[in-house]
Amino acid sequence: MIKRIFPFLDWFTGYSMAMLRADGISGLTVALVLIPQSMAYAQLAGMPAYYGLYAAFLPPMVAALFGSSRQLGTGPVAVVSLMSAASLEPLATAGSPEFIAYSIVLALIVGIFQFLLGVLRLGLVVNFLSHPVVNGFTNAAAIIIASSQFSKFFGVSVDNAPHHYETMIQVAKAALDYTHLPTLLYGISAVVIMVVLRKINPRIPNVLVAVVVTTLISYFSGYNNDAVVDISTIHQPEVVDKISEFNQTVALIKEQGLERVKLANTLDEQRKAQPAPHGPTVEQIKLQGEINLITAYMGHSKDKVQELRSELRGMKFDAVEDGKKYVFYPKDTTPGHLVTDGRTWRIKVKNEQLDPAGIQLMGG
């Protein structure tokens, strides 16, 4: 009975060194491909990249103890990542602590439903989905997933628009304005390696080779040119004003969110304490009105944050070495007697407030 529930207890009988060697090679191969893949899926889901590593390690490890399945993906899956992001983006800003918490709760709820579907033997429900619907969904998901990587291919950052095609237009505009050439070259190199190896011999693990080669080149070439600087080293007054305004607006959104939750809880308590069979009371209508106003203000604040974030991301700088530190000037405005490092630097702006004493810059 125990071995039926936990089949892995019976696997060690007759286990040999040859089997261990085969398992080790397969595990290493899968890990090398899964590490970058899972990090990409995490970003597709609006989560920090390292959460993809958690999702790629723990669920497959547990699932492997109960056997294998060609139909079931126990690790991060592109379509699920896309659906998770689409479900949660109206509720919180991607990458924020609130968004991460919602994602964890969503994963738990989905897991409970999947467990119940398995226990109740309801997999046959899938047979009622028509093939055109399934094909349309998978093809559209494939197009969205592939095109969502364009921003990373060109090394640009944009905010997600309400519609995917609008996001792609923003990516195209950002790429035309400035493309991070090292990132683009690495992307092209990886594609070329995979295509050429597939034509030479389909049995060669082309994705694995591309990942290993580009990773080694990236490590030894010093590709990642990042710097954390004090805002005083950036000689552009507009940057100080924009960062200050950005931080204030981000803080305002958090305050508005907390206030909206507080009012919503108060309204819920009133509805439970004073049921209104003939409609809401005057006090409940007032609370609902305040919630709607705060929601509208939050929408305006989010639009303002997106605008400021785009402006900060669009700023480009030249770096000049001054003793043991770098000083940054707006692009092509460096005093003639100073020599730049030849790179173009940009500010890294995410969804959180920027630390004036630790501004993150990336150069290429």
pLDDT band at 276 (very low <50, low <70, confident <90, very high): low
pLDDT higher than 80, residue 361: yes
Nearest to 339 by CA among 349, 324, 326: 326
- Bridge partner list, 229: 359
Alpha carbon distances (Å) from 63 to 38, 40, 79, 318: 17, 22, 20, 51
Alpha carbon distances (Å) from 219 to 65, 147, 216: 35, 27, 5
What backbone phi and psi angles, to 5 degrees, belong to 8?
-65, -15
Token pair 């580009």 is at which residue? 214
3-state secondary structure of 178: coil
- Mean pLDDT, residues 164-176: 85
pLDDT band at 303 (very low <50, low <70, confident <90, very high): confident
Residue boundaries of the structural domains of the chain: 2-221, 228-363
Model pLDDT, residue 293: 92
Burial 76-97 (b: 16+ CB within 10 A, else e): bebbbbbbbbeebeeebbbbbe
Sequence-distant (6+) residues with CB within 8 A of 156 are 171, 174, 175, 178, 179, 180
pLDDT in tens, 69-124: 777 777 788 888 888 888 887 777 778 888 899 999 999 999 899 888 888 888 78
Report the chain's mean pLDDT, rounded to a whole number: 84
pLDDT in tens, 179-190: 878 888 888 988
What whole-number distance in Å separates Cα of residue 291 and Cα of residue 346?
A: 38
More confident site: 73 or 315: 315
- Mean pLDDT, residues 340-349: 83
pLDDT higher than 80, residue 37: yes
Tokens for 300, please give them.
Answer: 């305006």
Nearest to 61 by CA among 51, 53, 70: 53
Provide the 8-state DSSP code for 354: P
Residue 317: half-sphere exposure toward Cβ, Cα within 13 Å: 24
Model pLDDT, residue 347: 86
How far apart are the two ends of the chain, measured CA to CA in Å? Answer: 61
DSSP E strands, the chain: 225-229, 316-322, 325-330, 345-347, 359-363
pLDDT band at 222 (very low <50, low <70, confident <90, very high): low
pLDDT band at 223 (very low <50, low <70, confident <90, very high): low
The percent of residues in the chain predicted with pLDDT above 70, rounded, is: 97
Model pLDDT, residue 348: 85
Tokens for 51, please give them.
Answer: 């959460």
pLDDT higher than 70, residue 224: no
